[in-house]
Each structure stands twice: as structure tokens, then as C-alpha cells.
Amino acid sequence: MNVSKILSKLAALQYHQSAIIFNDQEFTYGELNDIANSLAGYLVDIGIGKKDALAVILPNCPEFAFIYFAATKIGAIFTPIDLKLGENQINSILDDTRAKVCFVYPGLKHLGKLRPQVLELNIAGEQFKSIVQPPQAASDLIADIDPTDTALYLHTSGTTGRAKIVELSYANLNCFPEAMRDCVVQGKREILGIILPMSHISGPIILNLLLANSCKLVIIDSINPVSLFENIAKHRITYFHAVPPIFSLLLKSGFSERYDTTSLDLIAMMGTSVPVSLMNAFKKAFPHVVVLQGYGLTETSPLITLTKRADADDKRASIGTPVEGAEVRVVDENDEQLHRGEIGELAVKGPMVMKGYLGIADQDNERFKNGYFHTSDLVKFDSDNYFYHMGRRDDLVILANGQNVYPAEIKNIIFSHPAVLDSEVIGVYSEKVRGNVLQAFVAPAQMGTLSDNEVRSLCQNALGSAKTPKYVTILESIPKTSTGKANIQELRNLSKHNDR
């Protein structure tokens, strides 16, 4: 989608219609377009042009949207960077993308430490304020783009080494609004909420969905239940998506009955394996809300599968059916296609699949086979072509007795305990049994409310002894990567056993 063209059109048609709300600030479509044009003109003046990388290291805030739309106005490649990354990681991404400018916020601990060839602009600085408050007079810019042009550079977690840079095109960015068309159904009356970090793929795709529906977006800058509930009640949010721990936090906060959530129409649990028990609990607490799952990766823009709205209750355990244009296969280790009910790796091709990893041809060759992108996620599908996530290929645990165990199944049971906020299950090698055993890491909503024996007993009763974790470690929180997934390497480092 030509974002700059759509924004300019919406500004002309509905200049005074509210577009973005953040705390006590509100910006109309006209103001959004004026600010984007002003910023774009400034970027051109300092030598930023089409296909140049433009980086941002920002929390959730309106300035993220201003700069994203300004980048689309000149065809620059928008490059959001996670603000939790270290100095070396940030500079590595700036080097890899050859970014010329980077917008930062005053709370960034690495201020003044970016590569000297990168112009550092603080959104709290007088220079930035002079451009956007109020915006300088500027002509309405509309980028001349090709759908195959790169629109985004997005980095992956990089917990096992240097982060990889995903290249997404303008054509890739058409896919999310198209996929959500039959789920987010209220058009201009939609009030979207964004609580996940905008510095990941959620930021750009929610801004594109905003324009596609010409509706309203509420930006939330704090991942806590009070903030989310307050924004839902005050601004009448109709849709948001998040990862399971956020929904678990909402349920176990005890605050749901204090706020009016009747406006909420649809939520989507995305980003990782979703325990059915969590979805059931959310539906019970908020019966008026459509609760569904979506699945995908940064590399797939991001959706590959999505539950249809009409099937939300009947297919709650599923990650959905392939979105329009997605050609999906389930394959074994020899890349042979598997059949219904068989567990294998999900592979996909279609308009949502990235252009590639920037400058890493070998990695491209490894993930692309016979024209399909291999996700490393294990799935199975049913007779209705609905898919079920079984875990990551690397997560599959082969126990000492040769039995295959999928951690997602055990996590689902652990999540059913009312005191559990988050959990992760991995396989660890035991010298005593000369093979792998299971270890669960569990974060309760409140420390001291859950014991390791309770977790083992729960799993024993539901799954039997073979799938009961031998070790259970209670943590205040599960360590995460920059993209919000469990940091498996850090969990392995925490793993300690006497019988090794």
C-alpha cells in the first residue's frame, strides 16, 4: 500500500477527524498529514531520500507515527529499533542498515553513543519541536514507489548472535489490513489500541490498519492492566492484539470489574503458543468479546494464519486457517508434504513473505526451500484446514525413553492454574538418566502463592508421569527476548540440577 497517498487522501477528506490519541493528546488526520509533510521536507533538506534507512529508537508515542508516515512520504526505509537493546546491538543494526539518521527519546540510556556517521535527533529537542509544533508549512508529498520497494527494516531477536534484518516491501505491508478485513468489521467506528512495543512489527502494521479503516488509534505506553483498562473504558477501544502474558496479567489483576469494557469487540492473541485455558478464561471473563488467535512471524508481515470471526468459539484452540494468498504446507525433515493430523514444520509462500534477510544470502538459502519459507514451527491441521501450533522445531524434546514431547502441551496445562501468570517448558540433559528430562519455569501472579509440587501434581493428573516436568523453578518473571518471546538461552543458564 502507498501509505503516503492514503494519508494524503484521508487528510483531504476528513481533516478534522480524530486519528491518534495518546494520554491527553489528540491528533486529527489533517494534523497527522501536516506533521508528516513537515518532517518529510526536513528530511529531504538534510539529504535523506528514497531507499535511505531512517531509524527510530522510541517508546510507544505519537512521534513514532509521525516519523513512520514522514518516511513513507519520501520512500525512505523505516527502521525501528528496540529501545531495550544494548549500545553494541543498536550500533550493529545501524551499521547493517547504513542508517543516516536516528530519532531517539530523552530517556534512552545510550544518548550520544550512536555511530558518529548517524545523525542523532532527540524528539524532545528544540529542533524536532520546531518542525512538528506546529508543523512547518510544507507541500503535500506522495512518494513514487514500486510495490517491491523495501518499506521496512525490522530486526529479529538475535539472542544467539548478531540480529538479522528482515526486509519487508510495500506489497508485504498490504497483507495485514487485508487479513484483518473480515475480523475488524466496524470500519470508521473502529477504535484500535496498541499496547505491544511499536518498535516491533506491531507498530507499522497497526498504523497501516488505522489508514485502511480510516478509524482511530489509541497508543498505550505502559504494559500494565490499569493503563489498558483505563484506555479501553475512556476511549472505547474496540480491538487490540497482544501476547498471552499480557492477557494473563489482565485476567489475574482483579481489575476487570472496575472498568467498562463493553466497547471491546475483538481481541487477538498472537506471537507465541496460546494456552486454550487462557483463551477460555478470557472469554468467560469477557463474554461479549470475540476471542481468536493469529499466527505469523516478522518475516511474514506478520500473519500466516488467522481464525475467522465466525469460527472463533468452535476453533478456539487453533491458530487459524491460512490468510488470503498464503500457500501453506506441513512438511517433514525431508521436506515431504504431510497429511491431516500429522505433525510437521509449517512452510509458506505468498505475498506476505519477506524479500529476505539484509545481506545474509546463506540464511536466505537455509530458510527458503523449493520456493517456500520454512518457519521452524511445528503444526498439524484438521479437516477444516485449521492449524494447531505444537511448538518450535527446536523446542521438541526427545526424552531419555525416546518419547517425543511438545512443550506447548505442558505449558497449556500449567497455564490452567489460576495462580500462574506465565510459564515456559524446556528439555535439559540429565546425567543420571543419560538423556533429556523436562524442566518448567513458572511465574505466578504473586510470589508465594504457588509451589513446585503444585505444578508437578497438576501436570501428573492431566498428562501422566512421562510428561510431568522433573524440575520446576518458580521465578518472578520469565526472561524475554526483545520481541517478547521466552529467552530460552537465559532459561538454560538458570537451569541447575543435582543429578547431572
C-alpha span between 187 and 213 (Å, rounded): 5
Residue 46 has pLDDT above 90, yes or no: yes
User: Which of these three, 355, 381, 407, is where a domain ends?
Assistant: 381
Percent of the chain scoring above 90 in pLDDT: 76
Q: Which residue has the cell 511448538?
A: 391
Q: Within this chain, do residues 412 and 377 fall inside the same structural domain, yes or no?
A: no
Residue 387 lies in a domain: no
Residue 161 lies in a domain: yes
Min mean pLDDT across 176-185, 240-249, 270-279, 387-396 is at 270-279
User: Which of these three, 325, 356, 381, is where a domain ends?
Assistant: 381
Q: Within this chain, do residues 151 and 272 fall inside the same structural domain, yes or no?
A: yes
pLDDT of the residue at 392: 85
Residue 419 lies in a domain: yes
C-alpha span between 443 and 500 (Å, rounded): 25
pTM: 0.91
User: Within a 13 Å sphere around the CA of 373, how many CA atoms are in the beta-carbon half?
Assistant: 23
pLDDT of the residue at 432: 85
Residue 496 has pLDDT above 80, yes or no: no
Q: Within this chain, do residues 400 and 377 fall inside the same structural domain, yes or no?
A: no
Q: Within this chain, do residues 193 and 328 fall inside the same structural domain, yes or no?
A: yes
Q: Within this chain, do residues 340 and 407 fall inside the same structural domain, yes or no?
A: no
334: CB partners within 8 A, 6+ apart:
none
User: Within a 13 Å sphere around the CA of 220, how many CA atoms are in the beta-carbon half?
Assistant: 26
Residue 371 lies in a domain: yes
C-alpha span between 266 and 268 (Å, rounded): 7
pLDDT digits (tens, 9 = 90+) for 59-74: 999 999 999 999 999 9
pLDDT of the residue at 159: 44
Number of Cβ within a 10 Å radius of residue 227? 14
pLDDT band of 363, cuts 50, 70, 90: low
Q: Give me the chain's average pLDDT, please.
A: 92
pLDDT of the residue at 500: 47
Give the residue-averaged pLDDT of 390-402: 85
171: CB partners within 8 A, 6+ apart:
147, 148, 351
pLDDT band of 483, cuts 50, 70, 90: low
134: CB partners within 8 A, 6+ apart:
34
Residue 452 has pLDDT above 90, yes or no: yes
pLDDT band of 191, cuts 50, 70, 90: very high
Q: Within this chain, do residues 401 and 336 fall inside the same structural domain, yes or no?
A: no
Q: Where residue 457 sits, what CATH number does that domain have?
A: 3.30.300.30
Give the residue-averaged pLDDT of 91-100: 96
Q: Within this chain, do residues 376 and 410 fall inside the same structural domain, yes or no?
A: no
Residue 275 lies in a domain: yes
Give the residue-averaged pLDDT of 203-227: 96
Q: Within this chain, do residues 401 and 486 fall inside the same structural domain, yes or no?
A: yes
* Phi and psi based region of residue 458 (left: phi greater than 0; alpha: psi -120 to 50; beta: remaining): alpha
Q: Within this chain, do residues 428 and 371 fall inside the same structural domain, yes or no?
A: no
Residue 163 has pLDDT above 90, yes or no: no
- Among 60, 15, 112, smallest CA distance to 227 is for 60
Q: Where residue 213 sits, what CATH number does that domain have?
A: 3.40.50.12780
**3-state secondary structure string across the chain:** CCHHHHHHHHHHHCCCCEEEEECCEEEEHHHHHHHHHHHHHHHHHCCCCCCCEEEEECCCCHHHHHHHHHHHHHCCEEEECCCCCCHHHHHHHHHHHCCCEEEECCCCCCCCCCCCCCEEEECCCHHHHHHHCCECCCCCCCCCCCCCCEEEEEECCCCCCCCCEEEEECCHHHHHHHHHCCCCCCHHHCEEEECCCCCCCHHHHHHHHHHHHCCEEEECCCCCHHHHHHHHHHHCCCEEEECHHHHHHHHHCCCHHHCCCCCCCEEEECCCCCCHHHHHHHHHHCCCCEEEEEEECHHHCCEEEECCHHHCCCCCCCCEEECCCCEEEEECCCCCECCCCCCEEEEEECCCCCCEECCCHHHHHHHEECCEEEEEEEEEECCCCCEEEEEEHHHCEEECCCCEECHHHHHHHHHCCCCEEEEEEEEEEECCCCEEEEEEEEEECCCCCCCHHHHHHHHHHHHCHHHCCCEEEECCCCCECCCCCECHHHHHHHCCCCCC
Q: Within this chain, do residues 357 and 213 fall inside the same structural domain, yes or no?
A: yes
Q: Are strands 290-296 and 266-269 parallel, antiparallel or unpaired?
A: parallel
pLDDT band of 160, cuts 50, 70, 90: very low
Dihedrals φ, ψ of 351, to 5°? -70, -15
Number of domains in the chain: 2
pLDDT band of 157, cuts 50, 70, 90: low
Q: Within this chain, do residues 280 and 412 fall inside the same structural domain, yes or no?
A: no
- Asked if 404 contacts 396 with a C-beta cutoff of 8 angstroms, the reply is yes
Residue 390 lies in a domain: no
pLDDT digits (tens, 9 = 90+) for 329-349: 999 999 999 999 999 999 999
User: Which of these three, 381, 404, 420, is where a domain ends?
Assistant: 381
Q: Within this chain, do residues 293 and 366 fall inside the same structural domain, yes or no?
A: yes
Containing structural domain, residue 73 = 3-381
Residue 499 lies in a domain: no
Residue 389 lies in a domain: no
